[in-house]
Structure 1
Amino acid sequence: MGPGPINAHPRVLRAMSAGLLGQYDPEFTAYMNETMALYRHVFKTTNRWTFLIDGSARAAIEAALVSLIEPGDPVVVVNFGRFGLLLREIAERCGAAVTMVDAEWGTVVEADAVRDAVRRVRPRVVATVHGDTSTTMAQPIHEIGRICVEHDALLYVDATATLSGMEVPVDAWRADIVTAGLQKCLAGPPGTAPITISERAAERIFSRRHVERGIAQGPGSPAGATGRRIASNYFDLAMLMEYWSERRLNHHTEATTMLYGARECARLVLEEGLEARIARHALVGRAMVAGLQAMGLRLFGDRAHKMANVVGVMIPDGIDGERVRTRMRTGFEIEIGTAFGPLAGRIWRIGTMGYNCRGHAALITLGALEAVLRSEGAEVRPGEAVQAAMQLLEAPAAR
């Protein structure tokens, strides 16, 4: 019950136990095509280039940025937590001239601050996290998308922690690349990362396509492209897009088992219904919040911009936060999250994501946390947390 990874859905694990197929077997390439189609619905996009990156969520982040950014490019990073700092690091490794637009941890960045930075810097790329689990805050994206369109900047969004648990309307955002991971709301294991790429971003990526001996430029590449070669081979999106295209460029050996899992994750989302799934995350997240508050615990951060699927909880004064986490894990087999940077030792992060985003999981977690806190001497209101969450979960509107 932390901020991810979470327990994978049993159907995903069963799918991943299927026999392996060769990456050019017609049955397997049909699975590739089906997976692309499924994730277009999950991302709410019509983007042709919607597929998987083999690697954790960070692999897709790096693929996006290394393929968009050339050395010297101005880049604006919207930063309100640990993962905004990660975007800065990757962009700087790509040689970008990075301008940060910062917000205090526990808040989000105002659109006007982004607009001012974009007007001043004229960036090639604006990069932001949607939901930063380090602070449990969700950055509004719609206005940033409009700013990028107005100023001809490409918008990259890291939606690792929110895809299928909060609204991630890629086309409505006018985002150019959005990436995610399976191990959060999609209810899969870490190891492969969905990505979707707009035609505008694809044109930029293919303009940098390096022409190897005997390999033609990719679809959409302008003749005589002059962009600098993408520094990575494995994370070269131009090559990966050809691998997932009808050409099936021999780029790497696809992670067959992970594709089975990712495909099943998307099938589960669409069987439940994307809107119903998002509503489930919102409801169980509210129930967790109601229970924590009824217990007398304080929440961290700006409630108006809290993620629906993870909540930051202030550790009560005089309580050893790591001892509580250890007792939760050993006594109840429930894991809750620690924190990073300036929040280390100050908050716990409790997630309600994917397969664990169920009413009974929230109720059991609240009961266990109350029991451990009381035995540690914390002043909490006994018996109220589970009741408060139950009332919300069992309300007629929740059914």
Structure 2
Amino acid sequence: MTKYTILTILLTIIISCGNKKTNTIKEEIPDETSVELTDAQLKNSEIATGKIEQRNISSLLKVNGKIEVPPQNMVSVSVPMGGYLKSTKLLAGMHINKGEIIATLEDQQYIQLQQDYLTAKAHFSSIEKEYFRQKDLNQSKASSDKVFEAAQTEYISQKVLLKSLEEKLKLININPNNLNETNISRSINIPSPIDGFVSSVNQNIGKYVTPTDVLFELVNPEDIHLHLTVFEKDLFKLSIGQKIFAYNNTHPSKKYICEIILIGKDVSPERTVQVQCHFEKYDKSLIPGMYMNAEIEVSTNNAYVIPNEGIVRFEGKQYVFIQTSKNKFEIQAVTTQNTELGFTQITFEDSTEMRNKIYVLKGAYTLLMKMKNQEEEE
């Protein structure tokens, strides 16, 4: 065997080995867009397949806002006559009933006011008797007009004084009709003006409070409103009485039905308008100040939809799975639009071809996890 023959054989062997190695590497490249299940895996996966369908689905306007309470349901509690805060049991979040005593104050001026009233009342009794006596005498010409007019002036002045003192007592929740010389008190009680909850407690025991100080903030949340911010360009889509569906980020699947009751007439510098909505049903879990999202149905159109369980989100995109054979599924990116009653509208680049394929309608997440595990194993 010549030297050239040996070299030729060696080159042939090397090239042959190189081709085999290349083929082996090529076969190991995974198909990252598909996943294949065994018969047993498919049976246990509860995957459901079928064609996508056409349905009437609503076009939604998505906005956000927060829960607010109308002014008549928010109360700042203060006292018309200053005093020392003697007692209160209130804590933020506590429920209170209308008329319930929420604080007690004491001060010597409360005593003085009661004293002034009872003194004026006693004085008025004698002045009243003298007035009617002079009136009778004047009518019978037994006394002069001047004497009667003096008695009348004093009577009216004392009556005005007594009435003003009565109203002052009512301001500090003392009933003048029940007040006498035996029950003068140095303290007054502050009743709750509404049914509701304590929003804040601003004063402490022993502190002197003036009429300008706010002791407590109370709120009645049963008439809460949803205050939405809508862009000017979307206003034409809204109308009074229109239904909306509100939800928060904590429980997005729980929808609260609301109705638009007011649409603002002023456009802000940000080109937005405020829209007021009323909740159809009060829910205690809804708290003033809570941020909410809202969906407003503005139109309805016929579109291709797929059950929500047939869509997965991965790396910021939406995907569905197409069944290419009995056990093999291929992932396909889609564009999702409106969602309603468990179905989501989807669109493709080539809708004519894609709508005739068989899709995974349930269990898409299972396939996504299998595909990711498959990539890690490889």
Q: TM-score, normalised by structure 1?
A: 0.22
Structure whose residues are more often helix by fraction: 1
- Between 1 and 2, higher relative CO (CA 8 Å, sep ≥ 6) is seen in 2
Bigger Rg, structure 1 or 2: 2
Structure whose residues are more often strand by fraction: 2
